[in-house]
Structure 1
Amino acid sequence: MTIRLTWKRVAAGLLGIVLAGLLFAWSGVFNIAASSGHWAVTEWFLHWTMRNSVKTHSFFDSPKDPIATDGGLVSAAGHFAAACASCHGAPGQRPSPVMQKAMPPAPDLAINARQWTDAQLFYILRHGVKYSGMPAWGAAKRDDEIRRMVAFVRRLPGMTAAQYRALSGQAQGAGTADVRALGDNVLAGCVACHGADGRGRGQPDIPILGGQHTSYLAAALAAYADGRRASAVMGNAAATLTADERHALAAHFAALPGLRRDATPAGDPRARVIVERGLPERQLPACASCHGAGKPQPLLVGQRADYIAARLRYWKGDGKEIDARLPQNVMPVIARRIPEELIDPLARYLAGGPP
Structure 2
Amino acid sequence: MTIRVTWKRLVAALATLAAAGLLFAWSGIFNIAASSGHWAVTEWFLHWTMRNSVKTHSFFDSPADPIAHDGAMVSAAGHFAAACATCHGAPGQRPSPVMQQAMPPAPDLSVNAKQWTDKQLFYILRHGVKYSGMPAWGGKGRDDEIRRMVAFVRRLPVMSAAEYRLLSGGATGAGTTDARALAGATLAGCVACHGADGRGRGQPDIPVLGGQRAGYLEAALAAYADGRRQSAVMGNVAAVLTPAQRRALAAHFAAMPGLGAAPGRDARARLIVERGLPERQLPACASCHAPGKPQPVLAGQRAVYLAERLRHWRGDEKIVDARQPQQVMPVIARRIPEEMIEPLARYLAGE
Please give the range of the TM-score, normalised by the shorter of the 2 chains: over 0.9
C-alpha distance in structure 2 between counterparts of 1:218 and 1:181, whole Å: 18
* CA apart distance, 1:71: 1.4
Residues 196, 117 of structure 1: alpha-carbon distance in 2 compared, 3 angstrom cutoff: same
User: Are the aligned partners of 1:267 and 1:348 in contact in 2 as well (CA < 8 Å)?
Assistant: no
C-alpha distance in structure 1 between counterparts of 2:237 and 2:222, whole Å: 11
1:138 alignment partner in structure 2: 138
Report matched runs for 1:215-234 at 5 Å: 215-234=215-234
* CA apart distance, 1:68: 4.6
1:42 alignment partner in structure 2: 42
* CA apart distance, 1:7: 1.1
C-alpha distance in structure 2 between counterparts of 1:304 and 1:183, whole Å: 27
2:236 alignment partner in structure 1: 236
Tell me the alpha carbon deviations over residues 19-56 of structure 1, each in whole angstroms, 9 at most, x when there is no partner.
00000000000000000000111101100110010000
Residue type at the aligned position of 1:351: A
Tell me the alpha carbon deviations over residues 225-277 of structure 1, each in whole angstroms, 9 at most, x when there is no partner.
011111100000100101110000000000011113xx541210011110110
Return 139-148 or 316-325, whichever deviates more. Answer: 316-325
* CA apart distance, 1:79: 0.1
Residue type at the aligned position of 1:71: G
Q: Give the TM-score normalised by the residue count of structure 1.
A: 0.97
- Cα root mean square deviation, aligned: 1.1
Residue type at the aligned position of 1:191: V
The DSSP-based 3-state class of the residue aligned with 1:187 is: helix
**Pair 1:308-2:303 in alignment:** no
* CA apart distance, 1:108: 0.2
Residues 100, 176 of structure 1: alpha-carbon distance in 2 compared, 3 angstrom cutoff: farther
Structure 1 regions of 5+ residues with no counterpart? none
Tell me the alpha carbon deviations over residues 265-316 of structure 1, each in whole angstroms, 9 at most, x when there is no partner.
1210011110110000000000000002110000001111111111111111
1:268 alignment partner in structure 2: 266
* CA apart distance, 1:337: 0.3
User: Are the aligned partners of 2:319 and 2:331 in contact in 1 as well (CA < 8 Å)?
Assistant: no
2:259 alignment partner in structure 1: 259
**Pair 1:278-2:266 in alignment:** no
The alignment of Structure 1 onto Structure 2 pairs a total of residues equal to: 350
1:149 alignment partner in structure 2: 149
Residue type at the aligned position of 2:26: W
1:14 alignment partner in structure 2: 14
The DSSP-based 3-state class of the residue aligned with 1:123 is: helix
**Pair 1:178-2:177 in alignment:** yes
1:2 alignment partner in structure 2: 2
1:203 alignment partner in structure 2: 203
Query: 288, 293, 310: which is aligned to 1:295?
Result: 293
**Pair 1:55-2:55 in alignment:** yes
2:101 alignment partner in structure 1: 101
* CA apart distance, 1:183: 4.3
Residue type at the aligned position of 1:77: A
User: Are the aligned partners of 2:78 and 2:168 in contact in 1 as well (CA < 8 Å)?
Assistant: yes
Residue type at the aligned position of 2:341: I
1:341 alignment partner in structure 2: 339
Residue type at the aligned position of 1:237: V
Residue type at the aligned position of 2:142: R
Residue type at the aligned position of 2:177: D
C-alpha distance in structure 1 between counterparts of 2:45 and 2:274, whole Å: 63
Residues 106, 286 of structure 1: alpha-carbon distance in 2 compared, 3 angstrom cutoff: same
The DSSP-based 3-state class of the residue aligned with 1:181 is: coil
C-alpha distance in structure 2 between counterparts of 1:70 and 1:324, whole Å: 37
C-alpha distance in structure 1 between counterparts of 2:189 and 2:108, whole Å: 24
Residue type at the aligned position of 1:169: G
Residues 121, 106 of structure 1: alpha-carbon distance in 2 compared, 3 angstrom cutoff: same
User: Are the aligned partners of 1:179 and 1:187 in contact in 2 as well (CA < 8 Å)?
Assistant: no
User: Are the aligned partners of 2:70 and 2:152 in contact in 1 as well (CA < 8 Å)?
Assistant: no
Residue type at the aligned position of 2:35: S
Q: Give the TM-score normalised by the residue count of structure 2.
A: 0.98
C-alpha distance in structure 2 between counterparts of 1:60 and 1:266, whole Å: 41
Residue type at the aligned position of 1:178: T
1:71 alignment partner in structure 2: 71
Tell me the alpha carbon deviations over residues 177-218 of structure 1, each in whole angstroms, 9 at most, x when there is no partner.
435032432111000000000000011111100011000000
Structure 2 regions of 5+ residues with no counterpart? none
Residues 44, 179 of structure 1: alpha-carbon distance in 2 compared, 3 angstrom cutoff: farther
C-alpha distance in structure 1 between counterparts of 2:142 and 2:181, whole Å: 30
1:160 alignment partner in structure 2: 160
Residue type at the aligned position of 1:272: R
The DSSP-based 3-state class of the residue aligned with 1:290 is: helix
1:319 alignment partner in structure 2: 317
